[in-house]
Structure 1
Amino acid sequence: MKIQKEIIDFEDGKSFKIFEPSMKHCFFWHYHPEIELVYVEALNGIRHVGKNISGFMESDLLLVGSNVPHLNFDYGIKTEYKQVVLQFKENFLQEMILPVPEFDDIKKLLDRSYLGLSFFGETKKIVAKKLHLIKEKKPFESLIALIEVLQILSQSTEVIELNKEDTRVKWFLNDKIRMGTIYDYINENYDKNPNVNIIAEMVSLSTPAFCRYFKKQTNMTFTDFVNNYRINQAKMLLLQNLGITEVCFQVGFESVSYFNKLFKKYIGETPTAFKKKHLSKIEN
């Protein structure tokens, strides 16, 4: 369950690979020297890149830099989904991009990718279509298409930086605590009453030391993280057209009014408004 270095194999004669992995039942907290572009379509999902842990709705397009720890983006998805992953070699930048002045914008994009970049709006729609087409192209044509995608991303203002500081793997190297153990405990107990004392003991820390460690890793308190996790699970259940009271208790809240209050705090709208807006999209 500890952080793993992924070894990526490329076909002979190719500087990048594009594929459609399915790993929703696997907790794969990992890093690799290769830069990665990921597009996921799902009703609801969770992204974890570096220190950032956040949810996405309907789809997400992410650029993850070299050696940035991240969780597989389909982890825990319980509905149908599609995923396209594009990875290119670590020397792609040095050998192809750096020497060419016309690629300056792409170079700046890749230099920023260590923060983890999430794209939205028209940029996401355009790039998603192009990623699906790249799989069908011949090697040279697919390389040109990749450069075109990177150019589009480099020019886009429809982007969010997920982290505000360097979270590449050197930041994690001395970390002997297994985040996977913590995730598994929360996943198994979020609908009950997750106990910070129990998980602290499981990872061999005192409760105060665990709270400091967890806040450093995630920029959230343990309670805030559990509530955020519950709300993300609630979104998925609401999209299955379950009642708000039923969803409230299923994800572990004991008060509907408190559930409504927290939902609006995290999502920006009430469960009723969220359900009405997004269910209509699905049914249409």
Structure 2
Amino acid sequence: MEERKVFNLQDYGVSRGLSFGHYKYREVKPGLTEHLHQGAVELCFSMSGRQTYMVGERLFELKGNDIFIVGPDVLHSTGNYPEDKGELFWIQILVDHGKGRLCNLEKEQSDFILNGLLEKSECIFAGAFQLKLILGKLALQLAKEPSVLSRLVVDQLITQLLLETLLLSKDSSPKAASTRLKTINDYIRQHLHRIIYVDELAGLVSMSTGYFKAWFKAESGMPPKEYVNRLKIEQAKLDLLQRRTVTQVAFDLGFGSSQYFATTFKKFTGYTPRSYIRSLEE
């Protein structure tokens, strides 16, 4: 299966569609350089992992189940960050009705949907499980040869996707950080020097290990082990700046070997520890 796939929506008769895309990365990729989408709004749906966007001087960090909207002609990039490990969908829609009808909607209807979504540009709000189903169906449909039937289905799915996103944006009151997640985060930071087991984290918040894994991924957007390793690698970046050896940093953070540490470091940063040090010296 391809890690990244992009479809030209106009090939499917969506006259106001630019692209629909999906990636699922097992390790980080080079970051997105600063760019814009002329006359088009972009909706980004993070399924898992994390992704960072820089809009002007503002930094936005998406986790699993987050939605982020970028308005037309707005410069954005991933800043100094890579395209992160995880899964993300996006869709770009032209806002000008003069470019054609959007999925055969009347002008009043398409303007209502798009204007409502634009009101939520440059803010992060929570998605819902039904969006992943719609996005998955849309990706499967676009992978087929265009036909009259496929175009009808694509129109219906895009309309459903935009409507569901609009409804979710209206119910996007800020969510207070989970007290249990904060407890776990604090505990991990206090024990970065050793191996941290999932069952001990589950016990910390009085959950079974199985339930904890599902709960934690829903809360943080990633499995517990990945979350722990991300925090360890962030600490490793600081430790390497202090001119400590790679082996010393690896063992001080509870990694069983410097090789496993280097593999994990590259997965989350795109660099080996030594190439990361060299990049800071340039």
TM-score, normalising length from structure 1?
0.47
TM-score, normalising length from structure 2?
0.47
